[in-house]
């Protein structure tokens, strides 16, 4: 199969297109025919050596596609299922082996491309709103970079919960994006001091 492989740390020049054997799934793994791979900042950290990996390796920690083969102990998915996954190296390839417990079924009506694009960012927004902060309908929350991938999803999740959302952005166009996601208060920090603006909006004294 074809894959992007890295044999040493460096810039984009170390990304090499190579032919490698198709990996075999273990008892608790599934072989995925990769139809889309996410591109994330962590991929850069893997490539330049900031996050160490044993060379050579296939980068990419987010992907999705069709289950082609399953191990003998797999019960979460079956051959033919559409799935995504995250935080598992190897998505920059035509096929990848992923522990079945890490696979996320793709709902009907949602494309693989859309599902993969939302996996890492969606999981990040979810744990920020539900695990790290445990937001409630009584919460007021300040969300930075609210027009970005994680920020926009976090705004939407916070609004679904019932929070009062204060959002920061850097341009007028991003203001529109943050408002369309549901933010009630949008602050352009290129124009206003967001700290003073939030204090004024919330009537905070300190």
* CATH architecture, range 2-115: Alpha-Beta Complex (3.90)
Q: Which CATH superfamily is domain 133-202 in?
A: NAD(P)-binding Rossmann-like Domain (3.40.50.720)
Q: What is the pTM of this model?
A: 0.84
- pLDDT, tens digit, for every residue of 89-132? 999 999 999 999 999 999 999 999 999 999 999 999 999 999 98
Residues near 83 by Cβ (< 8 Å), separated by ≥ 6?
30, 32, 64, 65, 66, 67, 77, 103, 104, 105, 106
Beta strands across the sheet bearing 140-143: 140-143, 164-169, 185-188
pLDDT band at 156 (very low <50, low <70, confident <90, very high): very high
Q: What is the pLDDT of residue 204?
A: 65
Domain range summary for the chain, segments of one domain joined by +: 2-115, 133-202
Between CA 176 and CA 155 the distance in angstroms is: 13
The secondary structure element, H or E, covering residue 166 is strand 164-169
Distances (CA, A) of 134 to 122, 127, 159, 204: 16, 9, 13, 22
**pLDDT at residue 138 above 80?**
yes
By CB neighbour count within 10 A (0-12 exposed, 13-18 middle, 19+ buried), where does 96 fall? buried
Q: What is the pLDDT of residue 35?
A: 98
């Amino acid at each position: 199969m074809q894959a992007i492989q890295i044999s040493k740390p460096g810039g984009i020049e170390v990304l090499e297109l190579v032919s490698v054997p198709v990996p075999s799934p273990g008892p608790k793994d599934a072989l995925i025919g990769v139809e889309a791979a996410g591109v994330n900042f962590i991929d850069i950290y893997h490539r330049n050596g900031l996050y160490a990996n044993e060379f050579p390796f296939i980068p990419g920690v987010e992907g999705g596609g069709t289950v082609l083969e399953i191990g003998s102990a797999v019960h979460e998915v079956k051959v033919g299922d559409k799935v995504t996954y995250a935080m598992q190296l190897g998505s920059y390839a035509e096929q990848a082996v992923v522990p079945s417990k890490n696979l996320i079924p793709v709902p009907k009506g949602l494309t693989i491309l859309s599902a993969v694009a939302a996996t890492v960012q969606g999981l990040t927004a979810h744990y920020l709103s539900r695990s790290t902060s445990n937001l409630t309908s009584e919460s007021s929350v300040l969300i930075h970079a609210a027009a970005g991938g994680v920020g926009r999803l976090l705004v939407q999740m916070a609004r679904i919960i019932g929070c009062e959302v204060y959002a920061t952005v850097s341009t007028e166009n991003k203001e529109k994006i943050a408002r369309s996601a549901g933010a009630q208060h949008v602050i352009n920090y290129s124009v206003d001091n967001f700290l003073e603006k939030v204090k004024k909006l919330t009537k905070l004294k300190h």
